[in-house]
Amino acid sequence: MRALSLLALLSLLAACEAEPAPQPTPRATADPVVVKAEVDRREMFGDVAKKGDFDVRFGEPFMSLDVRGEKIGISQSGGYKVVSSTRTQEGKGYVFRAKEGLNAGEAPFVLTIAPKACRDSFSGERTQYTAWLGTDAEPRRLQSCAAPAR
């Protein structure tokens, strides 16, 4: 009788056991490429810059753009992300049309870099290139200096 009571008690306890929590399903699409460390940035672009690659620094808003081929790395207070662009040559300069905006929900940006002497208003640094950032509707909204990437 004791064995029968014990068996009934064990089966009741097993029935009361909570079911395991469901595991989250993996996402079907990859998140945007966001890197947080310099070593990750180097892996994205490689260590050696090529001719036609640029570094652009905007003092206001505080943002930097690393232009490597048709990829543009954007460093803002929210982190670092890499976007794709199309690159066309205009005279001795370049126009980069990004596939997306600087921030989510914004119109794709346009970056124009032309050989024109520039003096950075924040650092005083002089470069041989000027950069303009904007959109198709207003391609030269912001101006800054650009330098060949190293």
Q: Which residue has the higher pLDDT, 111 or 12?
A: 111
Amino acid identity for residue 49 in this structure? A
Contact at 8 Å (CB) between 93 and 115? yes
Q: Phi first, then psi: give them for residue 125, nearest 5 degrees.
A: -65, 140
CA–CA distances in Å: residue 61 to residues 28, 127, 133, 141:
34, 19, 11, 12
pLDDT of residue 29: 38
Domain positions in the chain are 31-148
pLDDT tens profile 38-86: 555 556 666 567 888 999 998 776 899 999 999 999 998 878 888 999 9
The two counts, helices (H) then strands (E), for the chain are 2, 9
**pLDDT for position 94:** 96
Residues β-bridged to residue 120: none
φ/ψ of residue 3, rounded to 5: -65, -40
The amino acid occupying position 3 is A
pLDDT (tens digit per residue) in 93-124: 999 999 999 888 899 999 999 999 999 888 88
- Preceding peptide of 139 cis, ω within 30°: no
The pLDDT value given to residue 110: 97
Q: Which residues pair with 109 in a beta bridge?
A: none
pLDDT beyond 50 at 28: no
